[in-house]
Amino acid sequence: MQIETYKLKGWEDKETGLLIAENEDWILVKHIPIDYQIDGYKLYAKQFVKKRKPHKDQELIKRVLELKQIAITPPTSFAFTAIAELLKWSETTYGFFEFQEKKQSELFYGKLHHLHENTFMIDQVLADGTLEKAYAYDFSLSKIRSINFESDYFESLRLLMYDVNNE
């Protein structure tokens, strides 16, 4: 069990996670936003990881996670692929995707509206679970620093989205 801290280019705060798997382009972790709390998964694009090191409290965090019997496994059907395919996998698996770009404080939730080479547009999932069709911004695949799923907020939006669409 490996607990790591990541410093990403353009982000002010460090990120912490329980390392699950990695390939040449991505690092998959169970996200640890604070102390011993696990809150979903995060995929970090290695091209934006400026610094990576074991967390200073790694042994204590490892002990708590072992006591909690936290599994070190990727989500069902997860596989490392190209970034567009990862977004599509999240949308197929969960109904939408979440990602972050340059600003650490900005998270985007959406469904793929269209994809053209390196740019894409989303139907944005809003905080009340409704969709804003064709959100008026073209995102760049090459600027995505993280793709996130299964966090408490993510799951809450998913429940709202399905509830709104079933009314």
66-110 tens-digit pLDDT: 899 988 889 989 999 999 999 999 999 999 999 999 998 899 999
Residue 56: pLDDT above 90? no
pTM of the full structure: 0.91
Query: What's the domain count of the chain?
Result: 1
CA-based nearest residue to 140, from 123, 115, 124, 120: 120
Separation CA 142–CA 139 (nearest Å) = 9
Separation CA 115–CA 14 (nearest Å) = 31
Question: Which is it for the CA torsion 146, 88, 79, 18, positive or negative?
Answer: positive
What is the DSSP secondary-structure string of 67-130? HTT----PPTT-----HHHHHHHHHHHHSSEEEE-S-TT-EEEEEEEEEETTEEEEEEEPTTS-
Containing structural domain, residue 137? 3-165
Separation CA 165–CA 111 (nearest Å) = 14
51: left (phi over 0), alpha (psi -120 to 50) or beta: beta
Residue 22: pLDDT above 90? yes
Half-sphere exposure of 21 toward its Cβ, with a 13 Å CA cutoff?
11
Residue 167: pLDDT above 60? no
**Structure-block tokens of residue 113:** 């509206």
